[in-house]
Amino acid sequence: MKTLVDKLIENRTLTRDEFITLINSRNEEISEYIFENARRTSEKHFGKNVYIRGLIEFTNYCRNDCYYCGIRKSNANCERYRLSKEEILQCCKNGYDLGFRTFVLQGGEDGFFSDDDMCDIISQIRQAYPDCAITLSFGERSYDSYKRFFESGANRYLLRHETADAEHYKKLHPKGLDLENRKKCLYHLKEIGYQVGTGFMVGSPYQTVENLVDDLLFIKEFSPHMVGIGPFIPHGDTIFADEKPGSLELTLFLTGIIRLMLPNVLLPATTAVGTVDPLGREKSILAGANVLMPNLSPAGVRSKYLLYDGKICTGEEAAECRVCLQKRVESIGYKIVVDRGDYVPEV
C-alpha cells in the first residue's frame, strides 16, 4: 500500500481504482505514512505557520432546503437573525485588533441582501481594511453578481461542491438544486478571478467510497485554491436527524490525501472536525491542514447559526477563541501568523 502512496506523492493523483483501493485498505500504518508526508509537504510551502480567517456568519435566513443543514428554510425551530452592516463592520474591527487579516462573510442564501447591499458592505470593508482579504460564502449567485462583488473588493469565494456525484447530490438536496449549477458557479468564480474554495462533507447520508473518490478527482480537475472538508454531523431538526455522523478517522485520511494532491492548497481544520473530537483541529493540522476559521460573529447570535448539533465555540467570544486556538496550535509545535495567507502558485 505504501507504493500507492509513493505514487500519489509523485504523480499528485491516482486512478479511480487506485484511490478506491487506498481508501478501502487503509490502516493505522498507512494513515501515519500519509500524514508524515502531508506534514512534510505542508511545511515545505508554509513552514509551521497556520493562517486564521475570521468567520462572520451574517445571516441564517436561507431560501434553500438542503436536507442535511440546520438552517434550511423548513426548520421552523431555527431562530432567524441578520447582522446589520454596522454589526458586520464591528466584527471586522474586533477581528482586525485580534490579528485577523481575512474576513469571511458566510450565510444562508438570503434574498434580503440584494447585490447592491452586498456591494455596499464589501466596499466598506475594503475601504476600512485595505490590507485584508475578503472572502465570501453565501451560495449560488449569477455570474454578474459574483463579478460585481469581486469588483467591489472581494478576493475569495467558498462554495463546497458537497458531492461530485449527481445522483448522490439529488439525495442530499431537494428539486431545484443540482450539481451542474453548483459546478457552473465554481467555474464562473474562477474565471472572474476569485481564489476559490470547494469541498465536501465526509460521511454524508448515502455516500459511498466511490463518491468520495469522485470528490477527489473533481478537486484534482478543478484545482481549487482552498479545500474545506469536514464530517457530516446530524442536526435534530432535519430529515437526517437519525443518520450517523461522518468519521474523524476518514476525514483525516482524506485531508492527508488532498495535501499530497495539491501541495500548496489552503486547507482548513474545520469547526466540524473540532466538534466530533475535542482535539480534531490539532489532528487535522497534523494530517496536513494549515488554516483555522474561528468565529467573529457576536456571541449573541452564534448559537443560532447551527448547521449541525453540538457545534463548538457558540458560547465563546472571538478573543477567547483566539487565545484558545493559539494554545492549541502551539501545543503541537505550530504558530498562528498575522497574515492574509493568500494562495501562492507553485513556481
Chain contacts with ligand SAM (rule: CB under 6 A) = 68-69, 106, 108-109, 137-139, 159-160, 162, 201, 230, 232-233, 235, 272, 307-308
Q: How far is the CB of 130 from ligand SAM (least distance, A)?
A: 26
Q: How many CB atoms lie within 10 A of CB 113?
A: 19
Nearer to ligand FES by C-beta: 294 or 298?
294
Cα-based distances in Å from 92 to 235, 298, 301: 29, 11, 16
C-alpha cell at 308: 449541525
- Measured CA to CA, the distance from residue 70 to residue 57 in angstroms comes to 14
Provide, rounded to whole angstroms, the least separation between the CB of residue 110 and ligand SAM: 9
Helix (H) or strand (E) holding 330: helix 318-331
318 lies in the site for ligand FES, by CB under 6 A: no
Binds 325, which of ligand SAM, ligand FES, none (CB < 5 to 8 A, cut-off by type)? Answer: ligand FES
Q: In this structure, are residues 231 and 201 in contact, taking their beta carbons and an 8 Å threshold?
A: yes
Q: Which does 324 bind (CB under 5 to 8 A by kind): ligand SAM, ligand FES, none?
A: ligand FES
Q: How far is the CB of 242 from ligand SAM (least distance, A)?
A: 13
Residue from the set 216, 233, 313, 329 that interacts with ligand FES by CB under 6 A? 313
User: Least separation, in Å, of the C-beta of 324 and ligand FES?
Assistant: 3
Q: Which is nearer to ligand SAM, 159 or 219 (CB)?
A: 159
DSSP, res 243? S
The verdict on 329 binding ligand FES (CB under 6 A) reads no
What are the start-end ranges of the H helices in 63-208?
85-97, 115-128, 143-151, 166-172, 179-192
Closest Cα partner for 307 from 258, 235, 226?
235
- For ligand FES, the closer CB: 254 or 269: 269
- Cα-based angle 15, 21, 23 (whole degrees, multiple of 5): 105
Look at residue 159 and give the partner it binds from ligand SAM, ligand FES, none, a contact being a CB closer than 5 to 8 Å depending on partner kind. ligand SAM
| Partner interacting with residue 268 (select from ligand SAM, ligand FES, none; CB below 5-8 Å by kind) | none
Q: Quick one: 335 exposed, middle or buried, by C-beta within 10 A (0-12, 13-18, 19+)?
A: exposed
In this structure, what C-alpha cell is assigned to residue 182? Answer: 453548483
Kindly tell me which of 70 and 274 has the beta carbon lying closer to ligand FES: 274
- Binding status of residue 294 toward ligand FES by CB under 6 A: yes
Distance CA 204, CA 101 (A): 32
> Are 252 and 236 within 8 A, CB to CB?
no
What is the per-residue binding string for ligand FES in 254-293, x denoting contact by CB under 6 A? ----------------------------------------
Positions that interact with ligand FES (CB under 6 A):
294, 313, 316, 320-321, 324-325
